[in-house]
Amino acid sequence: MLSRSLIGSLALAIFFGFSTPVLSAGVFKTEKVTILVELLTDKLQQPWGIDFLPDGRMIVTEKPGRIRIVTRDGKLSPPIKNPPHQAYYGQGGLLDVTIHPDFAKNRLLYFSYAEQGSDGYYTALMRGRLSADETALEGGKVLFRQTPAAGDPRHFGSRVVFAPDGSVFLTTGDRGNRQQAQQLHSHIGKVIRLTAEGGIPPDNPFIGRKTAKPEIWSYGHRNIQGAAIHPATEKLWTIEHGPRGGDEINIPAPGANHGWPVVSHGVEYSGGQIGDGLKSTPGMTDPIVTWTPVIAPGGITFYTGDLFPEWQGNLLISGLRARAVVRLELNGDKVVREERLLRQIGSRIRDVAVGPDGAVYAITDENDGKILRITPVR
């Protein structure tokens, strides 16, 4: 039951047309449903990734290197001990977190992060077991390190997604070395596919090609910060940052070349064209949708819960520049409608996820980083 003070604040939000920024809670009209947005916490520093434990509690990464468990009412655990040895510099740090599908049995967590070596920075993937008392990671093992390293601390990509067959997708960015996104002897600007133990699946598309990294699934990507498995087709969907314009959603098929930097729907930050200015070319896979101006995407998820039947099968995107959750209605692989949610909050949204309760959860990219819970008002 809502408190009188909360009911009062919600009534004010309704009276003022849902247009005022909300710090603790708010009710907002959307195209299909009225939503309640609740603040669970604002005590996180630059949260980056969120996933859910089987009991509905959240596990959240903070970019400076902390891992926390967050209860359903927003209480934060102390930082979990033995996190990955991440490099918190530039766009780097502790990034995504994903639980193993059999977490209830094996307690395994997967983390992507920026790591520093003697020759620069790279995207890495580590697996560790959450201790029985939930205070530490045990048996941490690095499953993947991107090669080559790069001196530029940006464009680490870094979403981690389990496929239905148990393999693991990890996204990387071009690290500021854009030409390497087209080079198969480099992990830069790629989607990587591994086994859950860090091995190479035998059906990866470049197995046996001496000039290609066998971990590569697809290539020609600029900076993929969102990835999710379509609930019906079981295909991987990704979203990546364009330069000045040209954010794009792709459905990376095995061996597909998605074009960067040969083709792009954006331009240089200076305003000049990228390469020959091509937006499409034979042999390279076009995105299914692009944005100019950019939304600057973070994480994505498909809505499959029960609380919002109006959003069933929709793609939800966290928008940094958009300062919104972008909701896309789909017809097969085509986007037929877009709506932007939470613009009243005014925060950069870093990741979005659907909880076991069917609610939508969003985290904000701020030093007083928030977790917001979104439920319908019926």
Active site residues: 155
Three-state DSSP class for 149? coil
Please name the helix (run of DSSP H) or strand (run of DSSP E) that holds residue 13, with its range, or none. helix 4-15
Q: Going by C-beta distance under 8 Å and a sequence separation of 6 or more, which residues neighbour residue 302?
A: 228, 229, 230, 231, 237, 313, 314, 315, 316, 354
DSSP letter at 173 equals: B
What does DSSP assign to residue 294? -
Q: How distant, in Å, are the alpha carbons of 64, 132, 177, 296, 334 from that of 250?
A: 30, 39, 21, 15, 11
Say if residue 21 is exposed, middle or buried (CB neighbours under 10 Å; 0-12, 13-18, 19+): exposed
- Tell me how many degrees the CA angle 196-202-206 measures, rounded to the nearest 5: 110
Q: Which two tokens stand for residue 82?
A: 């033995």
Site of tokens 């309704």: 14
The Cα–Cα gap between 265 and 246 comes to 4
Are β-strands 289-291 and 297-302 bridged in parallel, bridged antiparallel, or unpaired?
unpaired
Burial 337-358 (b: 16+ CB within 10 A, else e): eeeebbbbbebbbbbbbbbeee
Positive or negative torsion for Cα 291, 296, 299, 303 = negative
Burial class (CB in 10 A: 0-12, 13-18, 19+), 276: exposed
Question: 50, 76, 77: which is closest to 63 by C-alpha?
Answer: 50
In single-letter form, the type of residue at position 119 comes to D
User: CA 274 → CA 90, 178, 243, 268, 279, distances in Å?
Assistant: 24, 11, 9, 6, 10
Q: Which amino acid is at 123?
A: T
> Residue 66 pairs with which residues in a beta bridge?
62
